[in-house]
Amino acid sequence: MENKEENELDRIIREIEDFEKKVAVPEIEKPLYDNRSNMSVAEFSKINKPLRVGLRHLHRAWSAAVDGFPKEAKRARDLGMSEIKEARLLLDESLRSKK
């Protein structure tokens, strides 16, 4: 049982690290900061808020997984990914409106 749980926790950790490295930063954070001069403060904040909240949840998920709490890790991972996906939708909408 313990081995199965450790494998699950390792998988969660890899999933979080991959999502942050491959999606959150290059597809959302970098374009957001690259385009901030074309946005109002309110528009930037509207996108940045769910991104930051999502990253905090992902970091919480990573910590919970490292500490051996798979249920909390999954819950925080799911919340984080959901918030970050919302930020992505808002960013895409904002960039489309600038064309």
Is the pTM higher than 0.85? The answer reads yes
CA-angle at 51, arms to 57 and 16, nearest 5°? 45
C-alpha–C-alpha distance, residues 31 and 37, integer Å: 11
pLDDT in tens, 78-98: 999 999 999 999 999 999 998
Across 67-83, average pLDDT:
96
Q: How many domains does the chain have?
A: 1
The pLDDT tens digits for 21-61 are 998 889 999 999 999 999 999 999 999 999 999 999 999 99
> Could you tell me the residue range of the domain that residue 41 belongs to?
2-97
Helices vs. strands in the chain: H and E counts, helices first: 4, 0
Our CA dihedral for 33, 38, 39, 44, rounded to 10 degrees, sits at 0
Supply the CATH number for residue 51's domain.
Answer: 1.20.120
